[in-house]
Amino acid sequence: MIVIVFAFLFFSFSTALGQEKGWEKGWNETVAAARKEGKLTVYHTTGPFEPLLREFEKRYPGIKTSAVVGRGNQLSQKILAERRANRYLVDVYLGAAGTPYRVFYEAKILDPVSPLLVLPEVTDPTKWFGREHHYADPEGKYIYVYEGTARSEVTYNRKLVNPAEFKSFWDLLNPRWKGKIGAIDPKVTGVATSTALSFFYYNQELGPKFLTRLFKDMDLIFSSDTRQLSDWLSVGKIALAFFNATEAATARKQGLPVDVFPPSHFKEGTYGAPRQGTISLIQQAPHPNASKLFVNWLLSREGQTLFQKFFTVPEEEYLPSMRLDVSKEEIPAAYRLSEGTKFLPIYRPEYIDPTPARKVVEEALGGQKR
């Protein structure tokens, strides 16, 4: 019996060791092939991706990264034009979820990310928030989401508002605030406006009823400029505002009496729509092995630690990694995703379309001047 048990354990250990060696062998071959290619071409939106790419070059000497930078709509048109000319120049696309989903995915020019995940620390779903890998496409394999930013787009004047009086988003509809709330005009398209409207619309505790009352009953004061909205907030022309969190955070750092409700403040929860943290692979990439190497490195603990470091601006913007083993000490508790967080993933296809929310808003406003 002892001999049988020992034989079984030896067989199990040998099998596991063989699998590990098999994984390492394939990985080493990928590294060697990537170094032979010697290059990686990354198209990315504006942000501190350059220092991240330099760290990748340090980690894997012999691979030179080349970056093309722009807004999502600019880069997408460039990529599509290149492909029409049979020029396949891009390996990896980094940025928010909107462009990869609405342009690349719908045009069917993406390769799946999931088959390229090799490192055990990357493939293990328990390393990630919610114990799962996050994707922004319906098939769950093309647009990988690694940034777990909890969003908030409600700001206030500290001299006029006591944040402790607000427990729910519904408290913002108290008649005492009528005519004292500002907002970016919903006709102005933008990530902040679109994602926040989607959150209110798709949140089962808020929904169309909340949006209707907010835009119909509260006599909102509109602006098309987030900076102007923050100026109004700082001088007391308005007491509260929607969709200007980034500018308000900047005003707060300048010593103005402006602040942002943290994402965890309201009982209905928060939402996530990555500002920068998705990765997509464009078909017919010129450097497939370097792409595979970069994807695994970026999604590793090392890569995600560096991403969070470069993309977090204290007291202004927090872009935490969804990896659970990446330290969040630099991220305030109110901006971290935890197991108990009420979190609506706006980047998912079932929530990403703001059109129904905008329709409700337009109906609520009716013929109002703004």
Domain count of the fold of the chain: 2
Residue with tokens 């909205």: 229
Evaluate if residue 1 carries a pLDDT over 70.
no
**C-beta atoms surrounding 53 within 10 Å:** 20
Angle in degrees, CA 153, 191, 273, rounded to 5: 75
pLDDT tens column, 110-138? 999 999 999 999 999 999 999 999 999 99
Smallest CA-to-CA distance from 200 within 241, 143, 242 is with 242
Which distant-in-sequence residues (6+ apart) come within 8 Å of 344 by Cβ?
A: 199, 202, 203, 269, 270, 271, 272, 351
173-205 tens-digit pLDDT: 999 999 999 999 988 766 678 889 999 999 999
Q: What percent of the chain has pLDDT over 90?
A: 74
Compute the distance between CA of residue 323 and CA of residue 182 in angstroms, rounded to an integer.
36
Question: Do 332 and 279 fall into the same domain?
Answer: yes
- 281 shares its domain with 252: no
**CATH number for position 277:** 3.40.190.10
Read off the pLDDT of residues 19-72 as tens digits, 9 standing for 90 and up: 456 779 999 999 999 999 999 999 999 989 999 999 999 999 999 999 999 999
Asked if 136 and 172 sit in the same domain, the reply is no
Domain assignment of residue 266, yes or no:
no
Is residue 346 domain-resident? Answer: no
pLDDT reading at 140 higher than 50: yes
Q: Which of 310, 38, 358 is nearest to 147 (CA)?
A: 310
Q: Is the pLDDT of residue 2 over 50?
A: no
Whether 280 and 142 have beta carbons less than 8 Å apart is answered as yes
Q: In which domain, by residue range, is 23 found?
A: 2-149+273-339
Closest CA to 59 of 304, 323, 303, 312: 303
- Asked if residue 315 has pLDDT above 90, the reply is no
pLDDT of res. 7: 43
**16 plus 38 within the same structural domain:** yes
d(CA 73, CA 42): 16
**Is the confidence at residue 18, as pLDDT, over 90?**
no
**Residue 100: inside a domain:** yes
**pLDDT tens track for 62-115:** 999 999 999 999 999 999 999 999 999 999 999 999 899 999 999 999 999 999
Whole-angstrom distance, CA of residue 196 vs CA of residue 351: 11
Q: Residue holding tokens 């109004």? A: 232
